[in-house]
Structure formats: C-alpha cells, structure tokens
Amino acid sequence: MLFIFGLRLVVGGMRRKDQFFNKENAGLYSTMLFIAIIWLAIPTVLSNTLLKPNNTENVIRVSTFSDVVALVLLGVYLGSIIFTFITHRDVFNTKIEETATKTKMM
C-alpha cells in the first residue's frame, strides 16, 4: 500500500507541479495499513511470548495462523478495491473543481 502511494507521489511529481489527493481515499488506505500492521504483528508476538518456538506443534500453529492472517488481509484488500472502484465509485471520484478543495500535496 505504501509502495503504490509512494510511486504515485514520485510519478505525479515528475509530471505535475501540484498534486491533489482525495481525503476519503487517504483515510481508507491509512486505516487498512494500520489494520495490516496490527494483524501481521500478532503471529510474531505469539511466537515470541506465549508459544515456545522449540516445540514443533507450536511452530505449525503459528505458521498456519500467519497464513490465515495473510489470506484474510488479501481478501480485505480485494474487498477494498471492489468497494472503491465498483460499489462506491461516486464517493472516491472527484472532479478537478472539487479536487481544489481537497488535500493539496506539494
């Protein structure tokens, strides 16, 4: 998520002097990033605190849980793409006039 945002900043900075971004979109992606950080930290915390890493059964549990978390996060990301580009297109689409009132990034 951060890679795509950073890439948008770099490419947009090469082409335009001023860049405008939608507040709703930025809020959506920052919330998704926060959720992803929390959920990706949970298997690490489990493996380092509650479950003993030298036990093979615990390693398999943490590995399975980590895989499930990755698949859930992938589903959430795909759901957000559907939400942004298909079901709520009018909320996230802005015209040039409306963009001037949105957050300006230089």
Residue indicated by tokens 């992803």: 36
Q: What average pLDDT does range 52-81 have in this prediction?
A: 85
pTM score, two decimals?
Answer: 0.59
Task: State yes or no: pLDDT of 15 exceeds 70.
Answer: yes
- E-assigned strands of the chain? 19-21, 103-105
User: Based on the structure, what is the number of domains in the chain?
Assistant: 1
The parent domain of residue 63 ranges over: 2-105
Q: Is the CB of residue 13 less than 8 Å from the CB of residue 19? A: yes
What's the distance, CA 99 to chain centroid? 23
- Report the distance separating Cα 18 and Cα 76, nearest Å: 32
Return the percentage of the chain with pLDDT > 90, whole number. Answer: 4
Hey, is 95 helix, strand or coil? Answer: coil
Residue 89: per-residue pLDDT: 64
